[in-house]
Amino acid sequence: MADHPPPPPPHILVFPFPAQGHALALLDLIHHLSLRRRFSLTVVTTPKNLPSLAPLLSLHQPPFLNLLVFPLPPHPLLPAGVENVQQIGNAGNLPIITALHKLSDPIANWFHSQPDPPVAIISDFFLGWTLALARRLHIPRFAFFSTRAFLASLNDHLFADVEAVRDMDPVVFDQLPGSPTFKSEHLPSTFRRYVPGNSDWELVREALLSNLLSDGCVFNTFHALEGPYLDFLRRKMGTQKVYAVGPVSLLGTGGDPKNLGDHPGSDVIHWLDHCPDNGSVLYVCFGSQKLMTNHQMEALAAALEQSMVRFVWVVKKPGPEMEFSLPDGFQDRVSGRGLVLDGWAPQVTILNHPAVGGFLSHCGWNSLLEAVAAGVPILGWPMEADQFVNARLLVEDLGVAVKVCEGADTVPDPVELGRRIAQSMSQGLAERKRAGEMKDEALAAVEQGGSSQIDLERFVQDLQKLQIEEKGEGIK
Ligand X SMILES: O=c1ccn([C@@H]2O[C@H](COP(=O)(O)OP(=O)(O)O[C@H]3O[C@H](CO)[C@@H](O)[C@H](O)[C@H]3O)[C@@H](O)[C@H]2O)c(=O)[nH]1
| Residues in contact with ligand X by the rule CB under 6 A | 19-22, 24, 146-147, 257, 285, 287-290, 314, 344-345, 347-348, 364-367, 370, 385-387
In this complex, which beta carbon is closest to ligand X, that of residue 20 or of residue 214? 20
Minimum Å distance from CB 471 to ligand X?
35
Spatial neighbors of 439 by CB under 8 A, at least 6 apart, are 372, 373, 374, 375
In this complex, which beta carbon is closest to ligand X, that of residue 10 or of residue 18? 18
In this complex, which beta carbon is closest to ligand X, that of residue 71 or of residue 264? 264
Peptide bond into 79 cis (omega under 30): no
In this complex, which beta carbon is closest to ligand X, that of residue 21 or of residue 254? 21
Neighbouring CB atoms inside 10 A of 113's CB total 8
In this complex, which beta carbon is closest to ligand X, that of residue 139 or of residue 312? 312
Q: What are the distances in angstroms from CA 9 to CA 417, 450, 453, 474?
A: 54, 26, 21, 17
In this complex, which beta carbon is closest to ligand X, that of residue 183 or of residue 317? 317
Q: Is the separation of the CB atoms in 235 and 162 below 8 Å?
A: no
Minimum Å distance from CB 328 to ligand X?
25
Q: Which of 252, 227, 242, 44 is nearest to 142 (CA)?
A: 242
Main-chain dihedrals φ then ψ at residue 34, nearest 5 degrees: -80, -20
Minimum Å distance from CB 470 to ligand X?
31
Neighbouring CB atoms inside 10 A of 433's CB total 14
In this complex, which beta carbon is closest to ligand X, that of residue 86 or of residue 451? 86
Minimum Å distance from CB 465 to ligand X?
28
Find the residue with minimal CB distance to ligand X.
21
In this complex, which beta carbon is closest to ligand X, that of residue 302 or of residue 314? 314
Minimum Å distance from CB 314 to ligand X?
4
What region does 165 belong to: left with phi over 0, alpha with psi -120 to 50, or beta? alpha
Minimum Å distance from CB 299 to ligand X?
20
The Cα–Cα gap between 101 and 203 comes to 9
Minimum Å distance from CB 46 to ligand X?
18
Minimum Å distance from CB 21 to ligand X?
2
Minimum Å distance from CB 346 to ligand X?
6
Neighbouring CB atoms inside 10 A of 228's CB total 13
- In this structure, the strands spanning 338-342 and 65-69 are unpaired
SS3 category, 407? coil
Angle, CA 244 vertex, CA 241 and CA 249 arms, to 5°: 140
In this complex, which beta carbon is closest to ligand X, that of residue 242 or of residue 341? 341
Instruction: Please write down the HEC assignment for all residues of 86-102.
Output: HHCCHHHHHHHHHHHHC
Residue type, 122: I
Strand spans (E) along 308-444:
310-315, 338-342, 356-361, 378-380, 401-403
